[in-house]
């Protein structure tokens, strides 16, 4: 059994027991959250698709870790000028462990 959920602007395929890394979700480490934006659920040979979400379907997950990704450097020179700009960015993330898929 698997489901496709939407979180942080991404669509992710998850199954029970999977660990997934998504954009930051507010919550404490070791707390449970419920993701209710379920786009599709597949169980055995049956597939249920939502328009856009499936009503009554949800995914129960536990927050395992929260942190920041490695730094990405962005260098922006301007042509024909002595102008250079170096910027860095670290995206925040949350690691979730999928416990169960409900409904569908």
- 17-47: per-residue pLDDT in tens? 999 999 999 999 999 999 999 999 999 889 9
Distances from the Cα of 16 to the Cα of 71, 93, 96, angstroms: 31, 20, 11
Residue 83 has a pLDDT of 87
Residue 102 has a pLDDT of 93
- 67-101: per-residue pLDDT in tens? 999 999 999 888 888 888 999 999 999 999 999 99
Q: What residues does each domain of the chain span?
A: 2-65+94-102
- 43-71: per-residue pLDDT in tens? 988 999 999 999 999 999 999 999 999 99
Give the strand pairing for 32-35 and 19-23: unpaired
Residue 39 has a pLDDT of 96
Residue 38 has a pLDDT of 96
pLDDT at 104 over 80: no
pTM > 0.85: no
């Amino acid at each position: 059994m698997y489901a496709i959920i939407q979180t942080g602007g991404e669509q992710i395929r998850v199954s029970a027991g999977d660990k997934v890394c998504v954009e930051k979700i507010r919550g404490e480490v070791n707390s449970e959250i419920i993701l209710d934006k379920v786009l599709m659920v597949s169980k055995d040979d049956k597939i249920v698709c939502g328009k856009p979400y499936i009503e009554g379907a949800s995914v129960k997950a536990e927050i395992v870790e929260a942190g920041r990704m490695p730094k990405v450097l962005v260098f922006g020179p301007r042509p024909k000028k002595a102008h250079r700009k170096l910027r860095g960015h670290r995206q925040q993330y949350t690691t979730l462990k999928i416990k169960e898929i409900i409904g569908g």
